[in-house]
Amino acid sequence: MILKKLKLIIKLGRLHFLIAGFLLYLLGVLLAVVLYNQFSWERFIWGYAVFLPAHLMVNYSNEYFDQEVDRYSYKTNFSGGSGVLLDHPELVNFTRKFSLTLIIISLILGISFSYTYNSVMFLILTISGNLLGWFYTAPPLKLSYRGLGEIATVLTGFLMPGLGYVAVTGTINLPFLIFSIPLMVFLLIFILSVEIPDREADLKGGKKTFIVRYGRENSLFLTMAAAILASLCFLALPNNIFSPINLYLIALLSIIPLISAIISYLNRGKSLKIISKSATRNVSALILFIALVNVYLMTLIYRIGFL
């Protein structure tokens, strides 16, 4: 009985989402290492210990506050919720309390990190990330229900890698601010993609997402346009600031999510099942892109002999 309940709790957390979060955190860390040749395992692990419960909280709190929407959802690997609370309402109260516990853990660790390494910016990002994650679906703000879900998700393209970057450097500076621009655009692709299968459910549940307001075709077009913009951003970034990073190579890698977004748009008139598969492919392409950028940065660190 206990084992069964534990399995349900794990399923509620949709742990596969943590992979993308870790890759974004790692990207921030590696960017800092390449640019400033400084690294600490203690800061890396401690920083992620702050990030992990905050990210996990988002999954559980969304499950709690999206119960009504999830009744109508079309479930995929990246959308529609887990469905656990609908079948097991006895876990509803636990889910809310566990979400709040995760916030407390993240904040305590974040305050400790900030005090130990004298980084006010790390604490600011920690608090901002927890607030944004909680109020994405939680009242009174309910950002995703008020047409602000896409903006909130775009900001995580700054916060997630930003926490990794600040864990190493202690602060935010111009190189990261500039580099985060295409990352935030990629997070727009992510949120638009995961919303695509959920249009009817979100409409019935009262969510004012972009796709609810403007339809799937416009959402798919914006996804493609965002992918083009993200690639162009990497081409436009000043190379001298990011030496020895080859931004043209990163732009080349960004063709992976771009091709996926183009294919998704070309499939816009097909069945919901095909479109949903396209949306899942978009998310997978984004994860692959971030992973390959991380591999490139690690290779660069090893080849140049940093650290």
Query: pLDDT tens digits, residue range 217-263?
Result: 999 999 999 999 999 999 999 989 999 999 999 999 999 999 999 99
141 vs 70, residue with greater confidence:
141
Domain boundaries of the chain, sorted by first residue: 15-304
* Average pLDDT of the residues in 266-280: 87
> What pTM does this model have?
0.95
User: Which letter, b or e, does each residue of 104-133 get, where b requires 16 or more Cβ atoms within 10 Å of its Cβ?
Assistant: ebbbebbeebbeebebebbbebbbbbbebb
155 vs 205, residue with greater confidence:
155
Give the dihedral of Cα atoms 10, 139, 97, 82; nearest 10 deg: -20
Q: What's the confidence (pLDDT) of residue 306? A: 64
Q: What's the confidence (pLDDT) of residue 254? A: 97
Q: What's the confidence (pLDDT) of residue 224? A: 97
69 vs 167, residue with greater confidence:
167
pLDDT at 74 over 80: no
Confidence of residue 3 (pLDDT cuts 50, 70, 90): confident
- C-alpha distances out from residue 183 to 4, 24, 38, 127, 287, Å: 38, 9, 23, 21, 12
Lowest mean pLDDT among 72-76, 163-167, 182-186: 72-76
* Average pLDDT of the residues in 53-78: 85
CA distance 16 to 24: 14
Q: What's the confidence (pLDDT) of residue 78? A: 66
* Helix or strand run (H / E) with residue 114: helix 92-117
Confidence of residue 281 (pLDDT cuts 50, 70, 90): very high
* Average pLDDT of the residues in 165-183: 97
Q: What's the confidence (pLDDT) of residue 113? A: 98
Lowest mean pLDDT among 23-37, 165-179, 187-201: 187-201
Contact partners, residue 64, CB within 8 Å, separation at least 6: 85, 92, 95, 96, 99, 137
CA atoms within 13 A on the CB side of 304: 16
